[in-house]
């Protein structure tokens, strides 16, 4: 018989991990803080931009959509890493945990805007016109009609941005120097460099800590996630 299922469960390695990496609780907080702020800002920007592209009908909307589509084919981390570093340096945001938020927002902003654009296109135009005839402005329409009808799209961009920001490595390792300023993935990658002092069970415990939030978030929202993806793809 195989040994797929463990005979005994041992959680001592989790205690070992927190004792071995002194800054791990701080790094965990940094990951939660940066990821939460990134998801919030990206969602707000995507909702506003998606609504504007569909219902404000401003000049140049087609050009904006084209630029967003083209940007999807560019590896943002690789192409823009030098520019991002120079901008962060000019703003004195190098080695600042909060300075990671805006660069993280740019990672999935384009796809988030396009997803919300597709979702807002599903909102019946008659409902928008009826609300306008009743005297509702754009903010009232967005809050009372738009957001409730695109909640599946909100779940999609939440999951996409959460997973990306939580596991991001390159930008964090480039823009921060002190371990106490960094997020979990970068600290874990650095810890792997000393395998002579690390055991595989301890490393496995660390990765369980890191990936669990993403798995839990997806498990609770998977139905809405796939439904939102299907709606966006059909309209797109």
Q: Which domains does the chain have, with CATH numbers?
A: 12-235 (1.10.3720.10)
Over 91-144, what HEC string results?
CCCCCCHHHHHHHHHHHHHHHHHHHHHHHHHCCCHHHHHHHHHCCCCHHHHHHH
CA-CA-CA-CA torsion sign (123, 129, 134, 137): positive
- What is the reported pTM? 0.80
Instruction: Reply yes or no on whether the pLDDT at 43 is more than 60.
Output: yes
90-94, long-range: CB < 8 A, 24+ apart = 93/175, 94/175, 94/176, 94/177
* Model pLDDT for residues 188-211, shown as the tens digit of each residue: 766 654 445 556 777 777 777 777
pLDDT score at 11? 75
| Structural contact between residues 35 and 165, judged by C-beta atoms closer than 8 angstroms | yes
Mean pLDDT of all residues in 59-81: 84
Residue range 70-78: mean pLDDT, rounded: 80
Interval 85-95 mean pLDDT:
93
Which range, of 79-88, 118-127, 141-150, 196-205, averages the lowest pLDDT?
196-205
**Distance of alpha carbon 235 from alpha carbon 217, whole angstroms:** 26
């Amino acid at each position: 018989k195989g040994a797929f299922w463990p005979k005994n469960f041992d959680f001592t390695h989790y205690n070992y991990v927190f004792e071995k990496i002194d800054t791990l609780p701080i790094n965990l907080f940094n990951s939660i803080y940066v990821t939460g702020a990134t998801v919030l800002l990206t969602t707000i920007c995507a909702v506003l931009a998606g609504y504007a592209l569909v219902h404000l009908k401003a000049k140049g909307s087609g050009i904006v959509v084209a630029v967003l589509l083209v940007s999807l084919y560019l590896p943002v981390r690789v192409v823009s890493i030098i520019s991002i570093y120079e901008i962060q340096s000019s703003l004195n945001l190098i080695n600042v945990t909060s300075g990671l938020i805006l660069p993280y927002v740019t990672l999935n902003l384009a796809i988030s805007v396009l997803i919300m654009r597709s979702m807002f296109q599903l909102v019946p135009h008659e409902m928008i016109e009826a609300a306008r005839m009743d005297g509702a402005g754009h903010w009232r329409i967005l809050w009372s009609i738009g957001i409730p009808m695109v909640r599946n799209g909100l779940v999609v961009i939440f999951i996409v941005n959460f997973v990306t920001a939580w596991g991001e490595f390159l930008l964090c390792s480039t823009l921060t120097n002190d371990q106490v300023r960094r997020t979990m993935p970068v600290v874990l990658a650095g810890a792997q460099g000393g395998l002579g002092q690390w055991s595989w069970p301890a490393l496995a415990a660390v990765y369980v800590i890191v990936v669990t939030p993403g798995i839990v978030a997806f498990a609770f929202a998977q139905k809405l996630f796939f439904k939102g993806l299907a709606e966006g793809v059909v309209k797109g």
